[in-house]
Structure 1
């Protein structure tokens, strides 16, 4: 994944990831706040940018991941509603039975109910966390297979350096190759196929 601070840009150049020293802050040869004049456009640009979040989100791979998470989230919410209804029913039962129970018996029943409710809460929170872990795992798998394809796209447009679009303060038309990269990745890896670590929310 192409992550870069504004003044310490990690760049993809000649097939390798290179982080230039802090003093190399103006790769386009202009100072912040100055207008860009005489900048080359289109295929002549050696510097290209990419939006890695859009790259993932709009790719077939990212859309498949989003759909799987959405389906699992809906199922989890339905399960949460059912469990909440069951716990509420049990709580009302204990309230009604309290008058006919000894203090010791009611305390034991209340403690058991609290333990049950806490177990449910913890289990459901763990399931929610699995959705987060699934997305993180799939993102790593996606970006782990993008380098060669991005290099090919960069070469095809005559670019030499690829940086994160968020590191650009001023740019010119034609710098961004995100759309072309999405198309190339869709053709190369598609939706990624079955994930090695599926969500699996029992």
Structure 2
């Protein structure tokens, strides 16, 4: 009987849309503003509209300054609401079927993701997947310096599966995702979604590319 392979997935802009998460977080922060600093219209929807227009990173600062509110008092609370909220989040179309097929063919699933720890845990909790992901590695559990391209997360996945026949990482961002796994002898698949926040990120891309989860399934077989 052949030994199992491990197919490890990234989370943001791979299994789920990062844009969906951003908008969910802006609405959560907006709900706090609506309760304690109400304006003429719902703040969350205004923040989402502004983000869609500008993709700006200073939305909270701009919103507060425009209304004469003290950013020093409000920004930590808005960031905490954004990062700590339980998002409305779903797998991308085709992802669940591909994950189920990986398990059905006898391979194993793992997850390796960067990002602020509380946010990543809440995303994973919101998905509530009844699938045997092991391990689930959030690199921020070790610290910001262990985010990709640091190899630490990949080494944790390898240590959890000493009997594996091989490892493959499926992710979206060549700027950071593939240096470490390729150096460790993994296969890698770049999954391109046209709507990703960083669709043209620069960096070393693996030889294997996919435009759908069906293609990922075939390339990791």
Could you tell me the TM-score, scaled by structure 1's length?
A: 0.31
Larger Rg over CA atoms: 1
Give the structure with the higher percent strand.
Answer: 2
Between the two structures, name the one with larger relative contact order (CA 8 Å, sep ≥ 6): 1
Could you tell me the TM-score, scaled by structure 2's length?
A: 0.29
